[in-house]
Amino acid sequence: PGANMNYEKVLEKTGIAAVCQDLGIEVVRFESFKPSEKNRFIYTGLADEVEMIINLPKLKTHSLTGLTLGVKNIFGLIPGSNKVSFHREYPNNTMLGRKIYEFYSLFHDKVVTLLDGIIAHEGDGPSRGSPKQIGMVACSEDTIALDLAVTKLIGFDSTFCKTNVVDKEYELVMDNDICFDRLKVPVSMKVHIPDGIKRWVSNKIYVKPFILQDSCIKCGLCMKSCPASALEYKNNNFTILDKRCIECFCCHEVCESDAIVLKRSILHRVFVK
């Protein structure tokens, strides 16, 4: 689960707890292992002890990286709130995507990825939006090749998924008769600005998180997960400080009461197709 989310609740809601109990599989928390560090990345020491990592991503849209596929799922090897520091250090989505790819590269030679796109997720992902029947399963020993292929199969350019960073050319042979429904794009990824006025409107086109006070249960997960310290608690309400917000949408992702929505500026609505 994302930083600061209820671990047991995630296991229960996803059904993983029941499956592991039925099959006698031990569930362990990455935080219980001494962390390792390599190339300035901190990750669970368990990753160094195993011979193979079976990576099980779900096909989902993502408000910051476009899609969550195999490479992005390896981000889960980073324990606890250390994930938040990535958003603080790399607030730009392209930069974040490259750093996640670099982190995945530490383990690429022992990762086998099996992607579940039978029922995918579209819209304001990874934790909002809607389920969508796609009927896809993909498997590969080369996770980046899998991600590139899946991105194209669902109708997107490879650059739409910001973790599709390659240091070598991939020549993918695609069967043009195979295609799947395109997923609805997160509102944060829909900006189409003509080059001539891009500079003038750049600071006027934005998508920012907004708290619905009537729905907020005051759990504080948003504040704990914000890498920019852009939330404050005052008069029994959480509020987002716009000038500090870096639009990483961590608060939107971890909110368990659907109290945080993505608010679009007027010009964002004008330029969104």
Reported as a single tens digit per residue, the pLDDT across 110-147 is: 999 999 999 999 998 887 789 999 999 999 999 999 99
User: What pLDDT is recorded for position 183?
Assistant: 92
Q: Which two tokens stand for residue 222?
A: 């948003």
pLDDT in tens, the chain (273 residues): 665 567 888 899 889 999 999 999 999 888 788 899 999 899 999 999 999 999 999 999 998 899 999 999 999 998 876 777 777 788 788 889 999 999 999 999 999 999 999 999 999 888 778 999 999 999 999 999 999 999 999 999 899 999 999 866 677 777 767 788 889 988 877 665 555 555 555 566 667 889 999 999 999 988 888 878 899 999 999 999 988 888 778 888 888 888 998 887 776 666 555
CB-based contacts of 70, cutoff 8 Å, min separation 6: 55, 57, 111, 113, 115, 140, 143, 144, 146, 147
Q: Compute the distance between CA of residue 159 and CA of residue 165 in angstroms, rounded to an integer.
A: 8
Q: What is the DSSP letter of 271?
A: H
**What's at 237, amino acid-wise?**
N
Q: Which of 37, 42, 12, 40 is nearest to 27 (CA)?
A: 12
Give yes or no for a cis peptide into 126 (omega within 30° of 0).
Answer: yes
User: What pLDDT is recorded for position 135?
Assistant: 95
User: What pLDDT is recorded for position 253?
Assistant: 80
In this structure, what are the phi and psi dihedrals at residue 43, rounded to the nearest 5 degrees? Answer: -150, 170
**What's at 240, amino acid-wise?**
I
User: What pLDDT is recorded for position 133?
Assistant: 96
In this structure, what are the phi and psi dihedrals at residue 122, rounded to the nearest 5 degrees? Answer: -130, 165
Asked if 115 and 69 touch (Cβ cutoff 8 Å), the reply is yes
pTM of the model: 0.77
Q: Compute the distance between CA of residue 222 and CA of residue 260 in angstroms, rounded to an integer.
A: 9
Return the C-alpha torsion angle 271, 230, 235, 254, nearest 10: 80
Q: What is the DSSP letter of 31?
A: G
